[in-house]
Every structure is written in structure tokens, then in C-alpha cells.
Amino acid sequence: METRSGLITDSTDAELMLATARGDLGAFATLVEKYHPRAVAYASRMAGDPDEARDLAQEAFLRLLRAAPRYEARASLVSYLYTILRNLLRSSRRRREDPLVWNPATMRVGGAVDRSDLDARDPEITLGERERLEKIEGAIAALPDRLREVFVLSELEGMSYQEIGRICRCPIGTVASRKHAAVARLRVELAFLRNG
Amino acid sequence: MMEMSCEAIRRRLVAYLDGELDARAAQEVDRHLLACAPCRGEAESLRAMRLEWRGLPSPVSDPRDREAILLAAATIKPARWRAPVSWFPWFRASDWVTVGAAAMALLLAWAYRQGEAEGVGDRRSWLVWSIADYEAREDARPPESGGNLRIRW
């Protein structure tokens, strides 16, 4: 079904990619609408810079578009998109030696565009609550890249270990051990939340 | 069956809460948690902790960024698009190579049988036989008709 905005609402991702491969930009727009927020949030948490995250997400979608004629629906489209995004992130990180450090002045909770965006989404949010969310994002940002990517994909993107293994090109056992290590570190970093 | 130690259970707790353990390992953790209060407390603590980060706001994205992507997408040349109709979309290139090879093998087998059926006693292929037959017919043909050569299979 096509909506008034030209978006197709009841097709599977594979059907949308097939239509995209035939040159149907409406189908591609539907995919962008559906996955852009998640792609930006993931890139934001991995790159640490919202501007860079938006650029990387844009490049990932354009690569997805160019790859559409070769796309074979063997894995979920979101895994495919995240694999492209991860490769872009790795190339970008190789050029930057500095470790990722959470900076509330430039990084946003939940991949928000800016601070007012977070307030607009939740007008009831208090200063204390915002600080708490920023501390959680800060603790996630402080994880080493390998642990952070597994943690973000699993906990915040809701992906299975199998999908994560496919994206990160590692066995499921490695995903499980990285997830365990990430959670162990976060428990230490976020112990203050339980202690008040 | 040997019971897993508390340490082994705790190493599996994250995967257990994620629903990623196989049925047997998950049952083992279930049994252990029923019997072991400290590990049960650990599991509860993990559950509570994950609520903290799962409470992070859902991501949103700027509509202007999505528009920029679509504008850039419109500049990609249509020549790169795939042909609109594929009669056998489930066939990959490698499948077509296999089908082509099988068809060629069948054709050769048929040609060989044809050759045998038409009285060629030796094991030469039908192709060799056909060429020999053609040359024999050409030799038998009167010289005035030799200018109009045609291959007949």
C-alpha cells in the first residue's frame, strides 16, 4: 500500500529492495524512513560525533542503493545495512587515533539531533533525569569499540547474537563473551544508579 | 550430569537473559537459579540494570537528513539499475552455468546416440562422423555443383 507521502507500508524489506533495484525510489524512500533513525543512533554511539554519524548514515544508504541490484535476501536487510555502516565506521575510525570520550556538549542521548530535540520528545524530562541518561550514554561510550558495538547492537538495537556475529564477522561464542564483558564493565560504571 | 558451578552459571547469565542459550543450557541455569539464592540475586540485579540502559530514548532522525539522502539518490544513474523482469529470479549466475553445462552434456549424448543409430559402427563422435559424411557427399557431388558449399547437420 502506498501512503500519501509516497511511502510503501506493507511490503517486506526484501520486496522493497527488489523494487529499489528496479529503480523505484519510493521503495528506497520507505527504507530510508524506516531505518535512518536507527542507523544514525548506531553511528552516533559508535563514532561519537553526531555530524560524522549523519554523514556516515547517508553514505551507508547510498551504498545500499548502489548495491540493490546485487542484493540477495539471505540475511535481514538491517544486518546488511549495519554491515555497510560498520565498514564505513571502521574506515573512519582508522583515520582517527583518539579514543571515543563521551562529551555531552557534542554527543546526544539516543542519537538526538540536539538537546532541544530530547526535550521536545519528552517535555517532562527533568535536569536530573537528563544527567542520568547522559551518564549511561557516557558509560556506553567509554566501552572499547569491540565491546561497544556488540552491546549497542544487542541491547539497544535488539539484534540476536547470530545477526551480530554476521555483522561483526565473528562466531556467536565471541559475541556472547564480548556482551558479557561489556555488561560487566557497565555494571561497575553504573553502580551509582543502584546505590542512589 | 555434573552441576555447573556458580561461576559458570554467572558467565552464562547475560546470554541466558538474552534468550540466547540453547534449551538444555537454559534449563540448567533455570534449575541452578531455583536452588541458589546468590545467583538468583545476581540475575535480578542484571535484569534491573538492563532496564536502565533500555530506558534510553528511542532514536529519531532529522527529516532534512533523509531528504538529503533522497536528493543524492536521485542523481544515481538509472543505467546501474537491474533489468526490470527476471523470469527466474531465484536463479543465480552459478545456477545458469550448471544448467548450461547439463544442457550441453545432454546434447552431446543425444548426438552420439544419433550417430550410433544411423549406423556408425566405431566410437567416433557424431560430430566427426557428420564432417566425414559431408566430405564424402561433397566428393560424390558432380564438379559443377561444388561452388555452392553448405553445411548440413
What pLDDT band is residue A149 in, cutting at 50, 70 and 90? very high
Per-residue pLDDT reduced to its tens digit, A126-146: 777 788 888 898 899 889 999
What pLDDT band is residue A2 in, cutting at 50, 70 and 90? very low
Position with higher pLDDT, B129 vs A1: B129
> What DSSP designation does B18 have?
T
Contact A53, A111 (CB under 8 A): yes
How would you write A88-118 as a 3-class SS string? HHHHHHHHCCCCCCCCCCCCCHHHCCCHHHH
Position with higher pLDDT, A7 vs A189: A189
In angstroms, rounded to a whole number, what is the distance separating the alpha carbons of residues A115 and A104?
Answer: 9
The residues with which A8 forms a beta bridge, in sequence order, are A2
Helix A127-141 to helix A172-189 angle, to the nearest 10 degrees? 140
A50 contacts in chain B (CB < 8 Å) = none
- Extract the residue ranges of chain B whose pLDDT is less than 50: 78-79, 145-147, 149, 151, 153
Residue A179 pLDDT more than 90?
A: yes
In angstroms, rounded to a whole number, what is the distance separating the alpha carbons of residues B60 and B14?
Answer: 28
A40 contacts in chain B (CB < 8 Å) = 59, 61, 65
- Residue A45 contacts B, CB cutoff 8 Å: no
Is the ipTM reported for this complex over the cut 0.85? no
- Residue A140 contacts B, CB cutoff 8 Å: yes
CB pairs under 8 A between A and B: 124
Residue A87 pLDDT more than 60?
A: yes
What pLDDT band is residue A6 in, cutting at 50, 70 and 90? very low
Position with higher pLDDT, A174 vs A128: A174
Position with higher pLDDT, A47 vs B40: B40
Measured in angstroms, the CA of B69 and the nearest CA of chain A are apart by: 6
Measured in angstroms, the CA of A93 and the nearest CA of chain B are apart by: 22
Contact A193, A132 (CB under 8 A): yes
Cβ separation A62–B76 shorter than 8 A? yes
Q: Looking at residue B137, what is its pLDDT?
A: 72
Task: Give me the torsion for CA of B68, B70, B71, B73, rounded to 10°.
Answer: 120
Q: Which residues contact A3 (CB under 8 A, 6 or more apart)?
A: A9
Give the highest mean pLDDT range of A8-12, A116-120, A155-159, B142-146. Answer: A155-159
Q: Looking at residue A94, what is its pLDDT?
A: 72
Residue A155 pLDDT more than 70?
A: yes
Q: Chain-wide mean pLDDT for chain A?
A: 82
What pLDDT band is residue A12 in, cutting at 50, 70 and 90? confident
Q: Which residues contact A81 (CB under 8 A, 6 or more apart)?
A: A35, A39, A60, A61, A64
Position with higher pLDDT, A163 vs A95: A163
In angstroms, rounded to a whole number, what is the distance separating the alpha carbons of residues A77 and A64?
Answer: 10
Nine-digit cell string for A174: 565471541
> What DSSP designation does B123 have?
S
In angstroms, rounded to a whole number, what is the distance separating the alpha carbons of residues B70 and B35?
Answer: 57
Nine-digit cell string for B149: 558449399
Q: Looking at residue A120, what is its pLDDT?
A: 60
Per-residue pLDDT reduced to its tens digit, B105-149: 999 999 888 777 665 555 555 566 666 666 777 677 665 544 454
Of A55, A71, A61, the closest CA to residue B73 belongs to A61
Contact B65, A39 (CB under 8 A): no
Sign of CA dihedral A129, A134, A140, A143: negative
